[in-house]
A and B are shown apart, each in its own frame.
Chain A
Amino acid sequence: MTAPEQSDVASLVETDRVHRRVYTDPEIFVLEMERIFGRAWILVGHDSQVPEPGDWIRTSIGLRDVVAIRGADGAIRVLYNRCPHRGMTVCVPAKGSGRRLVCPYHGWAFDTAGKLLGVPQPAGYEGGVDAGDARRSMAAVARVDSYRGFVFASLAADGPTLVDYLGDISDTLDNFCDRAPEGEVEAVGLPLRQTFEGNWKLHMENSVDTVHPGFVHRSSVEAAQGHISESGAAEDADQAIQMFNANGFTLNQWDSTDIHGYDGGHVYMDGFYRGGIIDPDRKDPVFQEYKSRMAAAYGEERTNRIFARETFNNLIYPNLSFNTRFQQLRVIRPVSVDRTDIHSYVFRLKGAPEEMFHTAVKFVSTANSPASPVLADDLAVFEQLQLGLNSEGSEWIDLSRRSGREEAFGNRGIRDKATSELPMRTMLGAWRRYMAAA
């Protein structure tokens, strides 16, 4: 197969439908890594993962292995994790710390900005080797910026600034942090890591598809309902059971909430959890204590505004999905056209009662563990979906539900009732623009 032509690629996404090749063609995937993951702002980590100068984590931008490292000057840089000498992976563990990075293969040493410090046997090089020689330093990713502690990088030297890139979706990242009395969150522990045999976009689209829970999650909804009806009130059930039960929303109930999309491909949906410990206005003593700390930090009025900003899944294009109420963040990592990894992180709200963090840990474990009664069904469906997409017979996927019924929203945004396929059209619209640009 030859590389798809530009016009060819753009023609794969129409207003209300998309060609199955977008999910199944390995050539398209290669082009996505170059044109989307090679240009967009991609989350590489959080400030709290590299608190001290010299701290680093190994992470990725698309398929590219990179290192996010805090320099001696306090700034975070993102370096290609590749020795300029022979191409060896310089940072092998998942994380580390030190004033120097030393290549395991032949001992080339670099400072925290990736600049060459020295090589063994410099006399072997004609004219010697200069410290700081750019050709012999670890290459830095073109642009790095952070927003409220979330560190993003772009491989493209040109393009919108991070703030322009995020646009109005930054409001949900603000809300993620504003929910901490100290206005900051902290990444804690290792992420849960799941994998499925399907295209990365299937996960992104599914996170904001409000019609699927009634079908895909029927078994966990009915298991929770069965348990509750035999054992007592839903409000007294375990937090996880309340979560399973919440997916039992009817389509009319879903349509009492809204879904929002922005030009840049970012999407978010309104919150829908009601009652018990998952209610946005919990009545328990822990939440009352948390609320009073929030009010002390922000004042009553602003606290109420922060809590009223009640969203569920928030997506930053192309591969970030987070929940502000339970401090969950998923990074969707494409591996190949039909293989995707998901890394799920939990954050602590600085200044909040520790029990708020325990609720978040339970939420993230319940929703993201490979043994999650909810996620297991999603992943199983993605794998069968990928197999279905591989079949010929019908080349196009229909995305027309509630098409054309959107209303304008905010800055370069649209909004509609939550059962709309607006999120898929929004993300694929962004996809088309990235992929059509040479």
Chain B
Amino acid sequence: MSGVVSSAGGVEALLRLRRVEEFLFHEARLIDERRFEDWRDLYTEDGIYWVPSEPGQDNPVDRLSIFYENRELMDVRIRQLRHNAFWAQIPPVRTRHVIGNVMLEDGGDDAEVRARSSFVMLEYRDDRRRVFGGEARHRLRPDGDGFRIAFKRVDIVDCDGTHGFMSVPF
């Protein structure tokens, strides 16, 4: 990390941070409103969504993962979420994200913006409540007035813990 974008960077930097924050809020809202196709379309064609199963995991190829999905797999997951015999989602979950601590990192590929944020996701289904939380790391590519997600890594604090089934992305 070569530096953190801060208010010391002036109004320009603050506006940039605000644009990224709004994008992250928007992404979370799409999940919470079950607009999964719109969520998928935020990703670039080669976009990846990854949730490791070990703290500090280096990569998704030689250690197990909770989610590791390209656009193809996102498409299949969404088709399943829309299916009327998806037993794990009868009744469907309700979720609500709270996102904060958004920080931008400079450096790396100039074409991409790197953001780190913390999140809490409340989940309710069939009289059961769960709370997930952790850190998301986004690699965002500027696209028109907004961004598209090239890579999203989510480290939930209990990634190596014992979990019941889960079906929607964080």
If A219-B80, A227-B79 touch, whether A368 touches B64 (CB-CB below 8 Å) is yes
Chain B contacts with A in 41-74, Cβ cutoff 8 A: 51, 53-54, 60-68, 70, 72-73
Let me know if A370 and B64 touch, CB within 8 A.
Answer: no
Q: Are B83 and A223 in contact (CB under 8 A)?
A: yes
With A and B bound together, what is the CA distance between A232 and B83 in angstroms? 21
Is B62's CB under 8 angstroms from A371's CB? no
Proximity string of chain A (351-367) to chain B, C-beta cutoff 8 Å, 1 when within and 0 when not: 00010011001101100
Neighbour of A361 across the interface among B64, B161, B166, B167, CB < 8 A: B64
B15 at the interface (CB under 8 A from A): no
Contact yes or no, B76 A244, CB < 8 A: yes
Q: Which chain A residues in 218-271 approach chain B with CB under 8 Å?
A: 218-220, 222-224, 226-227, 231, 237-238, 240-241, 244
Contact: A373 with B80, CB < 8 Å? yes
Is B105 at the interface (CB under 8 A from chain A)?
A: no
Smallest Cβ-Cβ distance to A215: which chain B residue: B85
Name the B residues within 8 Å of A222 (CB-CB): 79, 83
Q: Does A170 make an interface contact (CB < 8 A)?
A: no
Which chain B residue has the least Cβ–Cβ distance from A358?
B61
Q: Does A375 contact B (CB under 8 A)?
A: yes
CA of A365 to CA of B53, assembled, Å:
9
Render B138-170 as a binary contact track against A, CB cut-off 8 A, 1 for contact. Answer: 000000000000000000000011111111000
In the complex, the chain A residue whose C-beta lies closest to that of B160 is A190
Contacts of A223 in B (CB 8 A): 76-77, 79-80, 83
Asked whether A373 lies within 8 Å of B76 as measured between CB atoms, the reply is yes
Do A189 and B64 contact each other (CB < 8 Å), given the known contacts A223-B77, A227-B75, A370-B166?
yes
Contact of B53 among A190, A226, A238, A379 (CB under 8 A): A190
**Interfacial chain A residues near B66, Cβ < 8 Å:** 192, 365, 369-371
Instruction: Report yes or no: B85 in contact with A365, Cβ–Cβ below 8 A.
Output: no
B88 proximal to A (CB < 8 A): yes
Query: Does B25 lie at the interface of the complex (its beta carbon under 8 Å from any beta carbon of A)?
Result: no
Q: Is the CB of B72 within 8 A of A241?
A: yes
Could you say which residues of chain B place their CB within 8 Å of the CB of A193?
A: 160-163
B54 CB contacts on chain A under 8 angstroms? 189-190
B86 interfacial by beta-carbon distance below 8 Å: yes
A191, B64: Cα distance in complex, Å: 8
Q: Is the CB of B53 within 8 A of A227?
A: no
User: Can you name the residue of chain B whose Cβ is closest to the Cβ of A231?
Assistant: B72
Q: Tell me the nearest residue of chain B to A241, going by C-beta.
A: B76
Residues of A within 8 A of B86 (CB): 219, 377
**With A194-B165, A376-B165: A227-B64 Cβ-Cβ less than 8 Å:** no
- Given A194-B164, A341-B162, A373-B77, A189 and B83 touching (CB < 8 A)? no
Q: Considering the complex, give the chain B residue whose CB is closest to the CB of A372.
A: B165
By the criterion of a CB under 8 Å from any partner CB, how many residues of chain A are at the interface? Answer: 47
CB of A346 closer than 8 Å to a CB of B:
yes
Rounded to whole angstroms, the CA-CA distance of A190 and B72 in the bound complex is 27
Residues of chain B in range 70-112 having any CB-CB distance to chain A below 8 Å = 70, 72-73, 75-77, 79-80, 83, 85-88, 90
In the complex, are the beta carbons of B76 and A227 less than 8 A apart? yes
Cα distance, A354 to B70, chains bound together (Å):
21
- Closest chain-A Cβ to B136's Cβ sits at a distance in Å of 16
Is A381 a contact of B77 with CB atoms below 8 Å? no
Question: What CA separation (Å) do A406 and B39 show in the bound complex?
Answer: 51
- What are the residues of chain B within 8 A of A354 when measuring CB–CB? 62
Residues 110 to 147 of chain A near chain B (Cβ within 8 Å): none
**In angstroms, how far is the closest chain B Cβ from the Cβ of A380?**
4
**Once the chains are docked, how many angstroms separate the CA of A227 from the CA of B72?**
8
Report chain B residues within 8 Å CB of A189. 54, 62-64
Query: What 10 new A-B contacts, CB under 8 Å, besides A361-B63, A370-B66?
Result: A190-B54, A194-B162, A222-B79, A361-B61, A361-B62, A365-B64, A370-B166, A371-B166, A371-B167, A376-B166
Please list 30 pairs of residues, one from A and one from B, whose beta carbons are closer than 8 Å in the complex, sorted by A's number. Answer: A189-B62, A190-B64, A191-B64, A193-B163, A194-B164, A195-B164, A219-B80, A219-B86, A222-B79, A222-B83, A224-B76, A226-B79, A231-B72, A238-B70, A240-B73, A357-B62, A361-B60, A361-B61, A365-B66, A368-B64, A369-B64, A370-B66, A371-B67, A373-B167, A376-B88, A377-B87, A377-B88, A379-B88, A379-B164, A380-B88
